[in-house]
Structure 1
């Protein structure tokens, strides 16, 4: 499977740091990139499943890269939200969190021109032409002369 963006793209976009995800870089120096690369795989898979139009590494359209970065950023935001859900404010009962929708309608709209529709083969019609004598029959028994 082709990855539609890099961990560096996502880190630059989100400004995520190992500390924000609770990663000790002394013990695990590459863990942030490993986690983000895994999320990029998930994002790329979501794009492929939605569009039914996977791309090869040398033909990635910019919109695939952009949507992949944004989906991965949503995953990072969700991870941070889940980590920090114990926020309580005195006399304020309104709770607001970052939306946890990973693959939003905005990303789907951006990919719409790349979606390949599947054809329902059970309800397809077949046109038949019958050649007979000096003319021919074309659908619904309409006789045509040449």
Structure 2
């Protein structure tokens, strides 16, 4: 993993009680957070078109920071969904908590590592024949 579970816990102040786990259930919390870290890494790899390799030893510090913030967004979303799944906007409308975790600022910060995909499927190939006439 690019970042550690401890990094996420320190950054977010997460505790087992936030997810209704037993007070000393660090193992359960670690499993939840490590799954979110793996999901964040996958989202980043997909967004950068796999420019960020699967080799964990060469991950730039900037990408690690983005992974930490993306995982923290997952934590915040999970807490919001558990605590208040419905938001009352006014007397007439109610909506659910949004699910936007991969925000525009994270995508902008990832811009230096995005590798543009080149597709040759739509390129036209034209042939012409030269005759002796």
* TM bin (shorter chain): 0.7 to 0.9
Larger Rg: 1
Judge conservation of contact 1:81–1:97 (CA < 8 Å) in 2. no
- Which structure carries more helix by proportion? 2
List per-residue Cα deviations over 1:91-143 (Å, max 9, x = no partner).
Answer: x75979875311111111101111111112134478xxxxxxxxxxxxxxxxx
Q: Distance in 1 between matches of 2:104 and 2:114?
A: 14
Q: By how many angstroms is 1:70 displaced? A: 0.8
Find the residue that maps to 1:4 and give its secondary structure: coil
| 1:120–1:100 distance in 2 versus 1, CA, 3 Å | same
From 33, 38, 46, the equivalent of 2:35 is: 38
Please report the TM-score for the alignment, with normalisation by the length of structure 1.
0.71
Please report the TM-score for the alignment, with normalisation by the length of structure 2.
0.78
Equivalent in the alignment of 1:58: 57
Structure 1: gaps (5+ residues): 127-146
Q: By how many angstroms is 1:25 displaced? A: 3.6
Q: Distance in 1 between matches of 2:82 and 2:59?
A: 33
Structure 2: gaps (5+ residues): 126-133
| 1:98–1:63 distance in 2 versus 1, CA, 3 Å | farther
Equivalent in the alignment of 1:48: 45
Q: Distance in 2 between matches of 1:80 and 1:100?
A: 12
